[in-house]
Amino acid sequence: MKQRNLLLGLYGLLTVLSFFLLTRLKFTFDFEQFFPQGDPDWEFFKNYIRDFESDDNFLLVAVERKEGVFDSVFLAQFHDFSLKAVQLPHITSVSSLTRMQYPLKTPFGITSTPAIHLDQPAFYESDRRRVLQDQRFVHNLISEDATALTVVLKTINNTSLEQAGELMDSLNILLKSYPFEATHTLGRAGFQTEMVWMEIREVAVSTLVAALLATAILFFIFRRWWSVFIAMAGIGLSLLFFLGLLSAMGRELNALAALYPILMCIVGVADTIHITSKYLDELGKGHERQLAIRITLKEIGLATFITCITTAIGFASLITNRTAPIQGFGLNAALGVVAAFFVIYGWLWAMLPRFSADQLVKFTPEYAFWGKAMERIYQFTRLRGRQIAWVSLGLLALCFWGISQINTNYRIKHNLPRGQQITRDFLYFEQKFSGFRPLEFAVFPQNGRPADDFEVLREMDKFEQHVRTYAPVKTLVSVNDLYRSLHAMNYGNRPEAYRLPDSLAEFEKIHRLAAQLPPSASDVLLSKNRDKARIAGRMQDVGRDTVAIIQASIDAWKTSHIDSNIVRFKTTGTGVILDKNSAYIRDNMLQGLIPSVLVVALIMGLLFKDLRMVLVFTIPNVFPLFFAGALIGFLGIPLEAGIATVFSIVFGIATDDTVHFLSNFKLCREQGMNVEEALRTTLAETGKAMCMGSLILFFSFLVMLFSIHPPSVSVGLLVSATLAGALFCDLLLVPVLVRRMIK
């Protein structure tokens, strides 16, 4: 008893320390985290932006007036806002339609005329017609129906979370000082602040709901509050120590962090149910408390530890992923599972002997139901083994069909929080403007030509005009815009004159004129030594597969229409790299899971020293992986970073029940029972705990339905359904396999 009290004292000290560390726990969100490490396109883009700028260093602010923006009062307020926006923190430049000027050629030199004559309403109608015919402005600075204007704020590259918070706070304060009808924001800084808020909210909600649900289920099973207290206190301590450990290690939490409380709850409840049920069984045999806990820990302690290791291996399989957040989640989850085992194991060792069986469980008819149900399952598997085998094979064939339907048509909006302003703003820009997804082409002149060579620019112009023919592409800018604008200046800024000059002589005049102009936005479209250029824009969020089709079409057109002796183009940017990530995730699933399955199979081989038992273990635990893949395919859920974790979660957790079942079966055989006696006893003793644990598993992952993060909702549904299938394998398929393998 003294040793137990010392352990509880140690837990008390760790609790105080963990609460202190919890105040230092950090959350983060950064698109670059989801880029595949070591990918050649990502390495190219990092070098590419050193000559230019990042393609996501913008913050869009749309201001709406449903009656139309060409109103003197509204335009004055909007212009004042765009002027003051320059003073916002971490902003390098500001563009808006009220600040735009057309170059104007006069006998006295070049001057400019505003795109909108703010103080001259008589010009508004002509300004409106001209602006809405200008491809530089429509979908970029003004909506096609002229009911909204946008301010484009250029931010410093790679804004940190703190910088993003400062910018968004200052922007919101500034916007509140104007009586605008409606405003919408979209950009990196907004995503960073809103997604981190979502992460914190998700962890808090999942912890609360999982705790309430586990409490309700535990009370339903045991009907004693002492059992509920022991279980939930152990789970709470393991989660608290785990988060404190992450804080001490300097680990930052991301969007996947909402799974940690659920995983800890699941692992903790499963271990608690198995140990407590066995302890009650031993008390029921007449053993006194100290002997009952020793027998319990001796007989199922190893099995519980093996389940801990196999679950950790399942999560550790994610380290093969080339995406940092997925790797981090796998390592953290594996660490959490191991930590939970030792914390809960010690907690139950210290607490259970303090209570009698009557204090821990109320033997109601509902509790006795489990024993009768296990007997019926035993008889069913004995009499219907052949039918179970054929149904399993049929389901497996159906799973392969479902897996063939898996798509990787990832969309940004699929990862945005449901019902939140950031999502409404994202969809607003998709509808009214050019969307958020960056579109970037690197331009490389050939044979020593400079990037502003006339022939290079003509090939660029052909390429741009073709890219604009794709409906999702709404905005494109390049150094050609400068030369088109100067050419139009020579023809009274007529819309039809906004094009490159036809002759080299005319271009050279414009080129000399451009060299005399002050620095402009074109400086970030042409490298300083003029050896490369960029074509930048934005396109709508149409999905990875659709973008891949568009890109293939562009590449095919480029091969037959662009002179590669003059210039070459390379598609780049954050959009391309995010798309490649889906393919990496799909490929890495097998690369990570196959070694994990083999390692776990090796562990089982060492444990049972029987190849037949390894096969009995492996088959029912691979089956749920196929089932999960089939659900993803049939439900049309795009395979992306968050969804990919389903397979590791399923494999890591599904193995637990199989290990307990086979360990108990092995123990029964060692006690001299034949196969049928061992199966019946195993189902009676372990099957009950398996059903109780799976019940909690099923409902615990359904907690994710309360999430506002769509991938988390999908993960919850997929894992809950798949683990229900895993229970089918353990209760029905495993006994059939045991009878077939072991005579």
The three-state (H, E, C) secondary structure of 570-604, written as one string: EEECHHHHHHHHHHHHHHHHHHHHHHHHHHHHHHH
Q: With pLDDT > 70 as the criterion, what percentage of the chain qualifies?
A: 93
Bridge partners (DSSP) of residue 660 are none
Query: Are β-strands 252-253 and 26-27 bridged in parallel, bridged antiparallel, or unpaired?
Result: parallel
Residue 203 resides in a domain: no
Domain range for residue 126? 56-193
Task: Indicate the pTM of the whole model.
Answer: 0.78
Q: Is the pLDDT of residue 522 over 60?
A: no
Tell me which H or E stretch contains 188. Answer: helix 188-222
The amino acid sitting at 563 is: D
Backbone angles phi, psi at 151, to 5 degrees: -100, 125
Q: What does the alpha-carbon distance between residue 628 and residue 613 come to, in Å, rounded to a whole number?
A: 24
Q: What pLDDT does residue 417 have?
A: 84
- The per-residue pLDDT for range 411-435, each reduced to its tens digit, is 888 878 888 888 999 999 999 998 8
Q: pLDDT-based confidence at 96, cuts 50/70/90?
A: very high
User: 463-504 pLDDT, tens per residue?
Assistant: 999 999 998 998 898 989 888 888 888 888 888 888 898 888
* Percentage, residues of the chain above pLDDT 90: 20
**Residue 131 shares a structural domain with residue 244:** no
153 in the same domain as 105:
yes
- CATH assignment of the domain containing 718: 1.20.1640.10
The pLDDT of residue 668:
85
Tell whether 240 is covered by a domain: yes
| Same domain? 514 vs 462 | yes
Phi-psi region of 49 (alpha: psi -120 to 50; beta: other; left: phi over 0): alpha
Q: Structure tokens of 67?
A: 């009656």
Reported as a pLDDT band with limits 50, 70 and 90, residue 166 is very high
Q: Which of 118-122, 438-442, 684-688 has the lowest mean pLDDT?
A: 684-688
Task: Identify the pLDDT of residue 364.
Answer: 60
What is the tens place of the pLDDT at every residue in 325-358?
A: 777 888 888 888 888 888 988 898 888 888 888 8
DSSP label at 217? H
DSSP, res 363: -
User: Greater confidence, 77 or 542?
Assistant: 77
Using one digit for the tens of pLDDT, what is the confidence trace for 681-708? 888 878 777 787 777 777 777 777 778 8
Whole-angstrom distance, CA of residue 561 vs CA of residue 469: 15
**Per-residue confidence (pLDDT) for residue 17, from 0 to 100:** 92
Confidence of residue 286 (pLDDT cuts 50, 70, 90): confident
Looking at the predicted structure, is the pLDDT value of residue 103 above 70? Answer: yes
Assess whether 330 and 455 both reside in one domain: no
Same domain assignment for residues 390 and 242: yes
Quick: pLDDT tens for 142-152: 999 999 999 99
Q: Give dist(CA 281, CA 41) in Å, integer.
A: 60
Alpha-carbon torsion 191, 192, 197, 198, what sign? Answer: positive
In a domain, 199, yes or no: no
Beta-sheet strands, E only, within 276-319: none
Which of 510, 543, 573 lies at the terminal end of a domain, its last residue?
573
Distance CA 526, CA 443 (A): 9
User: Of the residues 142, 172, 193, which one is the last residue of a structural domain?
Assistant: 193
48 falls within a domain: no
**359 and 507 inside one domain:** no
What are the phi and psi torsion angles at 218 (to 5°)? -65, -40
- Over range 3-13, report the average pLDDT: 88
Per-residue confidence (pLDDT) for residue 732, from 0 to 100:
87
182 and 263 co-located in one domain: no
Q: Quick one: how many helices (H) and strands (E) in the chain?
A: 25, 12
| Helix/strand/coil percentages in the chain, nearest 5 | 70, 10, 20
- d(C-alpha 319, C-alpha 659), whole Å: 24
pLDDT at position 649 over 90: no
pLDDT band at 583 (very low <50, low <70, confident <90, very high): low
Q: Which of 421, 522, 542 is nearest to 478 (CA)?
A: 522
- Give CA–CA dist 462/404, Å, rounded: 39
Residue 416 falls inside a structural domain: no
Q: Which pLDDT does position 156 carry in this prediction? A: 87
Tell me if 45 is assigned to some domain.
no
- Nearest by Cα to 604 from 655, 669, 653: 655
- Residue 545 tokens read as 């597969």
Predicted confidence at residue 743, as pLDDT, reads: 66
Give residue 547's pLDDT. Answer: 86
- In this structure, are 434 and 368 located in the same domain? no
Which token pair is 307?
């389940």
> 3-class SS at 447?
coil
Query: Please, which residues have CB within 8 angstroms of residue 551's CB and are 6 or more apart in sequence?
Result: 571
Size of the chain in residues = 743
Whether 543 and 609 share a structural domain: no
Contact 668, 741 (CB under 8 A): no
- At 584, the amino acid letter reads Y
Q: Tell me which of 397-406, 472-481, 716-725 is least confident.
A: 716-725
Helix (H) or strand (E) holding 19: helix 2-22
Q: What is the 3-state secondary structure (H, E, C) of 133-183?
A: CCCCCECCCECCCCCEEEEEEEECCCCCHHHHHHHHHHHHHHHHCCCCCEE
Residue 106 has pLDDT above 70, yes or no: no
Cβ-based neighbour number of residue 162 at 10 Å = 10
**pLDDT category of residue 197 using cuts at 50, 70 and 90:** confident
Beta-carbon neighbour count of residue 4 at 10 Å? 15
Does a structural domain hold residue 277?
yes
Residue 279: CA count within 13 A, CB half-sphere: 27
Residues 397 and 266 placed together within one structural domain of the fold: yes
* Helix locations, 25-119, DSSP H: 40-51, 72-84
In a domain, residue 482? The reply is: yes
Question: Do the beta carbons of residue 690 and residue 661 sit within 8 Å?
Answer: yes
**Residue 523: predicted pLDDT:** 62
Q: 587 in the Ramachandran plot: left (φ > 0), alpha (ψ -120 to 50) or beta? A: alpha
What is the structure's pLDDT at 589? 62
Contact 183, 64 (CB under 8 A): yes
Tell me how crowded residue 604 is: count the other CB atoms within 10 A of its CB. Answer: 26
Q: Report whether pLDDT(271) > 80.
A: no
User: pLDDT tens-digit profile of 599-633?
Assistant: 777 777 777 777 888 888 888 888 888 888 888 88
Contacts with 199 (C-beta within 8 Å, 6 or more apart), sequence order:
27, 29, 253, 254, 255, 257, 258
* Euclidean distance between CA atoms 99 and 86, whole angstroms: 12
In this predicted structure, the answer to whether residue 516 has a pLDDT above a threshold of 70 is yes
- The count of structural domains within the chain is 3
Could you give the CA distance from residue 732 to residue 380 in angstroms, rounded to a whole number?
8
Domain end: 520, 549, 573, which one? 573
d(CA 21, CA 30): 23
pLDDT at 251: 82
How high does pLDDT run on average in the chain?
83
Residues 378 and 438 in one domain: no
Are 59 and 185 a contacting pair, CB within 8 Å? Answer: yes
CB 536 within 8 A of CB 476: yes
Please state at what angle helix 259-284 crosses helix 641-670, rounded to 10 degrees: 10
- Rg of the chain over Cα atoms, rounded to whole angstroms, equals 32
pLDDT at 572: 87
Same domain, 627 and 667: yes
Nearest Cα residue to 486 out of 496, 475, 497:
497
